[in-house]
Chains A and B, each alone.
Chain A
């Protein structure tokens, strides 16, 4: 912090000193607020520094702002105070909020066109790019780190229970049967999940080609209504509540709070983001495998693609024009195949450009790191439908909170699945109407 300030002060002094003599030489600082802590944050800083050494005109200053929520809130507060950064990393949940902020956001497709930087939407995976495009197919924010939920499983436990360690259960009935065998072999719980709403409802709906909300999951208008109380969703959450009683499923909290249950060997299967791969590898003291999310075979025989999570980079308005040339150059650098490949292999996020995937394939990365390609296979299977393209709902951070409140009420037996999901839909629709009103 201190060092940062000191360097900023020094830059200020030097820029003042040279102001008269060489104002054209002054380096332009580009503020980049992000939410990547720990090793990912260090990697991001390293990538930015490498960009800074390639040219002298611009200097990217990455600043870690805390969690995704904190980063987004900080950027919004900064915008209201006219102190906004040039670039801010926003998670997928905030997409609708950012898109509606028309005067605040500088759409990426427009930025790249204005600055004459090459930018081809077709080089990105369609599952990724669809999530962040407007109705005309223009990309509004730069895809950077995307992930999708997968299922990690304990191979040793599978062996002990007489199950095939190379074949994780593909359907929910198979998973139930496997969990019972694992419990008979002495394991306390079958499976647990992280990010309950994202994995067990949003992705469940997409995989089974069921709507999350009307108006193509919100893509076609703000007058959308949540539909997460359909038959499939009610059945699935009801099943989770039933399984909770015998610990075929054991709830372990929101976000990634359930991780210790898997690491300690208490639960043998664990559904979480593909970006959790590094953490699982570091913490699991046993051999583990990665499988796709299960599906209900009586609802669909051909499961669709899952939907993404993660974040994109948004550009905020209100800076001098020449600054945006630096932003565009930095974006070109970040989306180059080499940087994308490096970031994907380092972080466990999915390769978001086709090129990055091909390079990783050629390098034999997936052979050396088995299971890291499950996410991309799951993301790219089938043709995305209206229901599996993603979702675009205003106030979604709060809506997810409401949904998870109700899931918890259902799992603890306070409400039936139908009651809980109906309540979630009703409360969420109030928020959607509120959002519609303030974003006319």
Chain B
């Protein structure tokens, strides 16, 4: 493909053009990230009156901490479940919406709604519906013989935050899947139908492979969402409890840094998170992308 290239004679104007982006990166990423890195090598009291340079003591303290390992496991379970739930439901709904003839506009609009809801509100909503005393869903669960109690049962609490987080993300995924489905040439599907392929077979051999770029993109976006954007949902509902069952890595940074005023440990945790993000990105683009057909 021929590309149109703009070249500048003087580099000043080029620098001016990228300056806003550079400034934003500097102020909102490089500067805070370097602060975290710097902080992670010191140990100090809350007010910053005494400080000691401790090399990597904060990191070794972190990796010896069983609750940190626990948080890592919780984060992995939480992220994968949230991404899987959100993607599966969105795909199902998108396939159904794609086939609709009448009223599809209303249906689509309604499905996109949850995306406009603030995460904290979404969390509070599910929290209320599942409230063991007054919640409608907890009432139904009890009717079915299950004693729902997310105040005490860690699994219940984890399911609650996964549902609340995934529910919000379904709309986003739905939009992408719908667009993906509509770009699949109808002739391919019709040809397969004429050859006698059942609708299940058509889905798995034609539609799903052709949707794989979309699915891959959504997997990345959903994992990043579950890792970093679900703080509000957790904060509005379980606050990491009961007994740390829903304490993700991000929430632990908040707990130790903001609530516990242990900035050194919070700094070290942020650095670890930064490394995890880099690794995730490399793995996803290096290894998984190769298997995706574009």
Q: Contact mask B121-156 → A, CB, 8 Å, 1/0?
A: 000000000011110000000000000010111100
A260 to B43: give the CA distance in the assembly, Å: 42
In B72-112, the 8 Å CB interface with A consists of none
Q: Contact mask A19-57 → B, CB, 8 Å, 1/0?
A: 000000000000000000000000000000000000000
Residues of B close to A97: CB separation below 8 A: 45-46, 261
Interchain CB contact under 8 A, A405 and B243: yes
A254 to B241: give the CA distance in the assembly, Å: 9
Residues of A close to B153: CB separation below 8 A: 412
A80-B48 in contact given A73-B259, A397-B260, A412-B153 (Cβ < 8 Å): yes
Interchain CB contact under 8 A, B44 and A412: no
Interchain CB contact under 8 A, B47 and A76: yes
Q: Residue A264 at the B interface, CB < 8 A? A: yes
Interchain CB contact under 8 A, B151 and A76: no
In B36-52, the 8 Å CB interface with A consists of 43-50, 52
- Nearest-neighbor residue (CB-CB) of B259 within chain A: A69
Q: Residue B242 at the A interface, CB < 8 A? A: yes
Q: Residue A395 at the B interface, CB < 8 A? A: yes
Q: Residue B67 at the A interface, CB < 8 A? A: yes
Interchain CB contact under 8 A, B241 and A80: no
A9 to B61: give the CA distance in the assembly, Å: 47
Candidate in B47, B242, B258, B260 with the most chain A CB atoms within 10 angstroms: B47
A104-B49 in contact given A251-B152, A395-B262 (Cβ < 8 Å): yes
Q: Residue B244 at the A interface, CB < 8 A? A: yes
Residues of A close to B48: CB separation below 8 A: 79-80
Residues of B close to A409: CB separation below 8 A: 243
CB distance from B63 to the nearest CB of A (A): 14
- Nearest-neighbor residue (CB-CB) of B255 within chain A: A401
In A76-90, the 8 Å CB interface with B consists of 76, 79-80
Q: Contact mask A92-111 → B, CB, 8 Å, 1/0?
A: 00000100111110000000
Interchain CB contact under 8 A, A439 and B50: yes
- Nearest-neighbor residue (CB-CB) of A70 within chain B: B258
A398-B49 in contact given A260-B131, A438-B43 (Cβ < 8 Å): no
CB distance from A406 to the nearest CB of B (A): 7
- Nearest-neighbor residue (CB-CB) of B50 within chain A: A438
Q: Residue A257 at the B interface, CB < 8 A? A: yes
CB distance from A89 to the nearest CB of B (A): 16
One of A103, A254, A397, A434 near B49 (C-beta < 8 A): A103
Q: Residue A266 at the B interface, CB < 8 A? A: yes
Interchain CB contact under 8 A, A104 and B152: no
A148 to B265: give the CA distance in the assembly, Å: 33
A266-B133 in contact given A251-B151, A438-B45 (Cβ < 8 Å): yes
Interchain CB contact under 8 A, A260 and B134: yes
Residues of A close to B49: CB separation below 8 A: 101-104
- Nearest-neighbor residue (CB-CB) of B147 within chain A: A247
In B255-276, the 8 Å CB interface with A consists of 255-256, 258-262
CB distance from B238 to the nearest CB of A (A): 9
CB distance from A244 to the nearest CB of B (A): 8
Interchain CB contact under 8 A, A264 and B260: no
One of B43, B52, B241 near A405 (C-beta < 8 A): B241
Residues of B close to A412: CB separation below 8 A: 152-154, 242-243
Q: Residue A165 at the B interface, CB < 8 A? A: no
Q: Residue A230 at the B interface, CB < 8 A? A: no
A434 to B52: give the CA distance in the assembly, Å: 12
Interchain CB contact under 8 A, B50 and A395: no
- Nearest-neighbor residue (CB-CB) of A267 within chain B: B133
Q: Residue A408 at the B interface, CB < 8 A? A: yes
Residues of B close to A80: CB separation below 8 A: 47-48
CB distance from A375 to the nearest CB of B (A): 26
One of A104, A401, A440 near B47 (C-beta < 8 A): A104
Interchain CB contact under 8 A, B260 and A395: yes
CB distance from B194 to the nearest CB of A (A): 58
CB distance from B167 to the nearest CB of A (A): 22
Residues of A close to B133: CB separation below 8 A: 252, 260-261, 264, 266
CB distance from A104 to the nearest CB of B (A): 5
Q: Contact mask B21-60 → A, CB, 8 Å, 1/0?
A: 0000000000000000000000111111110100000000
Residues of A close to B154: CB separation below 8 A: 408, 412
CB distance from B71 to the nearest CB of A (A): 12
CB distance from A204 to the nearest CB of B (A): 20
Candidate in A104, A252, A438 with the most chain B CB atoms within 10 angstroms: A438
Interchain CB contact under 8 A, B47 and A398: no
Q: Residue A253 at the B interface, CB < 8 A? A: yes
Q: Residue A14 at the B interface, CB < 8 A? A: no
Interchain CB contact under 8 A, A252 and B151: yes
Residues of A close to B149: CB separation below 8 A: 251
Interchain CB contact under 8 A, A398 and B134: no
A398-B259 in contact given A80-B48, A438-B43 (Cβ < 8 Å): yes
- Nearest-neighbor residue (CB-CB) of B64 within chain A: A430
CB distance from A141 to the nearest CB of B (A): 15
Interchain CB contact under 8 A, A398 and B243: no
Interchain CB contact under 8 A, A73 and B261: yes
CB distance from A396 to the nearest CB of B (A): 10
Residues of A close to B255: CB separation below 8 A: 398, 401
- Nearest-neighbor residue (CB-CB) of A97 within chain B: B46
CB distance from B65 to the nearest CB of A (A): 8
Interchain CB contact under 8 A, B50 and A440: yes
Residues of A close to B256: CB separation below 8 A: 398
One of B243, B258, B260 near A406 (C-beta < 8 A): B243
CB distance from B23 to the nearest CB of A (A): 21
Residues of B close to A11: CB separation below 8 A: none
Residues of B close to A437: CB separation below 8 A: 43, 52
A341 to B43: give the CA distance in the assembly, Å: 44
Where the two chains meet, the residues of A that have a C-beta atom closer than 8 Å to any C-beta of B are 69, 72-73, 76, 79-80, 97, 100-104, 244, 251-254, 257-258, 260-261, 264, 266, 395, 397-398, 401, 404-406, 408-409, 411-412, 414, 427, 434, 437-440
8 cross-chain pairs, A with B, having the tightest CB-CB distances, nearest first: A408-B243, A408-B242, A253-B151, A398-B260, A101-B47, A409-B243, A438-B45, A260-B133
Q: List 18 A-B contacts (CB under 8 A).
A: A69-B259, A72-B261, A76-B46, A76-B261, A103-B47, A251-B152, A252-B133, A253-B242, A260-B133, A260-B134, A261-B133, A401-B255, A401-B260, A412-B152, A412-B243, A434-B43, A439-B45, A439-B50
Where the two chains meet, the residues of B that have a C-beta atom closer than 8 Å to any C-beta of A are 43-50, 52, 61, 67, 131-134, 149, 151-154, 239, 241-244, 255-256, 258-262
